[in-house]
Amino acid sequence: MPEEIKDNAIYTTSEVQDLLKISESTVKRLLKRGILRANKVGGQYRILGKEILRLISPELEQKSIKTYLKLKKKAVDVINKW
């Protein structure tokens, strides 16, 4: 059974390899091209789970951006009425 990717968990490159079933060179290529965003800690990459989820489900990211923009517009409308 596949492991669930938790959006706030932090993963190493080898964990990402296992989760996505891809090679080390593919992970490095994704990082180098900025397709998979990560932070470097002590010379090693650390990847947030939400970055992995964004990579495998871009429509989820688009949906959350739309929701955020709607909420922001409502907040701005309320503030402008003052």
DSSP string covering 31-73, please? HHTTSS--EEETTEEEEEHHHHHHHH-HHHHHHHHHHHHHHHH
How confident is the model over 10-52, as pLDDT tens digits?
Answer: 999 999 999 999 999 999 999 998 889 999 999 999 999 999 9
CATH of the domain at 60: 1.10.1660.10
Residue 4 maps to a domain: no
Range of the domain at 25: 10-81
pLDDT band at 65 (very low <50, low <70, confident <90, very high): confident
pLDDT of residue 1: 47
- Residue found by looking up tokens 């091209």 in the block: 33
State the pTM of this model.
0.66
Distance CA 45, CA 62 (A): 25
Look at the chain and report how many structural domains it folds into.
1
The mean per-residue pLDDT over the stretch 69-79 comes to 88
Amino acid of residue 46: R
Residue 19 maps to a domain: yes
